[in-house]
Structure 1
C-alpha cells in the first residue's frame, strides 16, 4: 500500500495528525447529528438542532476533504485519486455531492424540511460506507507495517 518513501512522508507530515483528529471528530458529530435527524423525521421536533448538526457535519467534511487532499499530495504526489486511495476518493466525491445537495436544498428552501433531511440521511449512508473504506485501509496499512517489521526481524536473525 505504501512504499517506504511514502510511509516516511506519511509519518513526517503534520497532515497525518490533522486527519487523525478530524476523522474521529467528524464521526462523533455524525453520530449526534444522526440522532437529531432521525428524531425530527420520527417525531417532527428539533428541526433547528437537526439542521444545525447537518451543517456542522458538512463543514467538518469539507475540512477533512481539503486537508485529506493536501495529505494525499504530500504522501502520493497528487491531490486526489492516487492509486492507493482511488476508490476511497471516488466514494468521497459521492459523499461530498450528497452533503452539498443537502446544503443547497436547505439554503434555497428546496423540498420540505423532511425531504431535505432525507437527503442528509442519504449523505450519511454514503459517509458510513466511505468511513468503512478508510478504516479497512488503515487496518491494511497496519497489517502491512507489522508484516514488514516481522520480515525485517527474520532477515536480521538470519544474517546473524
Structure 2
C-alpha cells in the first residue's frame, strides 16, 4: 500500500523577539537613538535625492548635491554604528542577528555603494554625472533597505503583546 504524502503543517510565523529580547529592546537607549536617526536620515535622503536629480537634469547645483550626499552618507555610517550597538544590546551580536540577518546583509551593499561614492569623490575617479548616478544607485539600495526595516518594524508591532489601554508601545 502506497502512503499519500501529507502536507507539512504550516510553521508558526517567525517571532522577531523572544520575551527577553523584547525587554532588552524596550530598555535600551539605542532603540530611541535608532527611532530618532532613521527619520532624520530619511528626510536628508529626500532632500539629497531632489538635489541630485536637479543637478542631473539641469547641470546646476553640483556643490549642494555633493554636500547632501556626503551628509546622507555620514548619517548612514552613524545609524549603522548605533544600529550595531542596538543589535549587540538586544541580541548579543554586533551584526547579523538572526531576526535582522537579511537587513544587515543588504545594509552592507548600501554601505559599499555610499563608500564607493566617497572614494570616487575623494580620488576624482568619476566625473560629476557618474558620481551622481552612483549616488542614485546607493539611494536605490538604501530605499530597499529602508523598506526591509519598515516591514520589520511593522512585524514587531503586530507581534507585540497586548498592552493595557494607554500604555506606550515602542517597536
Asked if the contact 1:29/1:57 (under 8 Å) is kept, the reply is yes
**Structure 2 Cα separation of the partners of residues 46 and 15 of structure 1:** 36
1:145-156 equivalences in 2 (<5 Å): 145=160, 148-149=161-162
Root-mean-square deviation (Å): 1.1
Matched, 1:3 2:14: no
Partner of 2:96: 81
TM-score for both structures, normalised by structure 1? 0.91
The equivalent position to 2:122 in structure 1, one of 78, 86, 107, is: 107
Once the 2 structures are TM-superposed, how far is the Cα of residue 71 of structure 1 from its aligned partner?
0.2
**Counterpart Cα distance in 2 of 1:111 and 1:54:** 15
Q: Which has the higher helix share?
A: 1
Q: Distance in 1 between matches of 2:139 and 2:90?
A: 28
Aligned pair count reads 149
Give the structure 1 partner of residue 141 of structure 2.
Answer: 126
Question: 1:135 pairs with 139, 146, 150, which one?
Answer: 150
TM-score (structure 2 length as normaliser): 0.86
Structure 1, gaps ≥5 residues long: 151-160
For 1:124 and 1:91, the matched residues in 2 are separated by: 13
Distance 1:86 1:9 in 2: 19
Q: Residues 93-128 of structure 1: CA distance to partner in whole angstroms, max 9, x if unpaired?
A: 000000000000000001111101111000000000
The structure 1 segments of at least 4 consecutive aligned residues displaced by more than 2 Å after TM superposition are: none
